[in-house]
Amino acid sequence: MPVPYRLLFQVTALIVREYRRMRQRERGEAAPAAKPERRITHSGGHELSLAGRLVRLVLIAATLWLIWREVTRRRAALLETRAATRQWPPSPEAAPAQPSAAIAAPPIAPPEPPAPASTPDEPASATGDAHAELIGWCARCHARRPMQGVSVTTTTSGRRVARGTCPVCHAGITRFVAREDAA
């Protein structure tokens, strides 16, 4: 049963007001002159006795306790469902290890990858070997890739340029290469 917050605030205000009035009556103080005191009455029209006021306060306190219990129950259920959705799946159980097999067999090292034909710092010559590849920087892939369809030209300043395409995204790749007379 949802409890409106406005009702909760009204009940709290009633408790505070009743407590203040009880304290004023015990001390014999009169209500402020600017605001006349309203008498708490029931349908008969006369002031409630101390026992009646205490019964009313007990009922209000019991209502607040029931509301608090319902709110905490719902909060616990919500936290439980959140915790269930955030849990990682259980890890698979490890296979039982055999101590004699673990000691007898040395660990197997993974095979090393083969060395590339040419390193990125030393490109293969564009004209020397038919199977040699030029590696250039692809601006679309943001990676170094071997160039396809390479054509070597000379710029107006006299530098040699290899132009090709990326094998992955087919973007144009341009790279400066060494001069023929230096090779």
Classify residue 163: in a domain, yes or no: yes
Q: Quote the CA–CA distance of 18 and 21 in Å, as a whole number.
A: 5
Classify residue 37: in a domain, yes or no: yes
Domain range for 156 is 135-177
Among 25, 54, 86, give the residue marking a domain's end.
Answer: 86
Classify residue 100: in a domain, yes or no: no
Please report where in the chains the tokens 């709110």 appear, as a residue: 71
Classify residue 154: in a domain, yes or no: yes
Classify residue 72: in a domain, yes or no: yes
Q: Kindly state the average pLDDT of the residues 58-73.
A: 91
Classify residue 109: in a domain, yes or no: no
Tell me, yes or no, whether 74 and 9 share the same domain: yes
Classify residue 128: in a domain, yes or no: no
Structural contact between residues 48 and 42, judged by C-beta atoms closer than 8 angstroms = yes
Please report where in the chains the tokens 């034909």 appear, as a residue: 117
pLDDT digits (tens, 9 = 90+) for 107-121: 666 666 665 555 444
AA letter at 50 = L
**Tally of structural domains, the chain:** 2
Residue 23, pLDDT above cutoff 70: yes
**Residue 106: pLDDT band with limits 50, 70, 90:** low
Classify residue 158: in a domain, yes or no: yes
Q: Would you mind telling me the total number of residues written for the chain in this entry?
A: 183
Residue 91, pLDDT above cutoff 60: yes
pLDDT digits (tens, 9 = 90+) for 153-162: 999 998 999 9
Among 86, 119, 147, give the residue marking a domain's end.
Answer: 86
Tell me, yes or no, whether 14 and 75 share the same domain: yes
pTM: 0.29
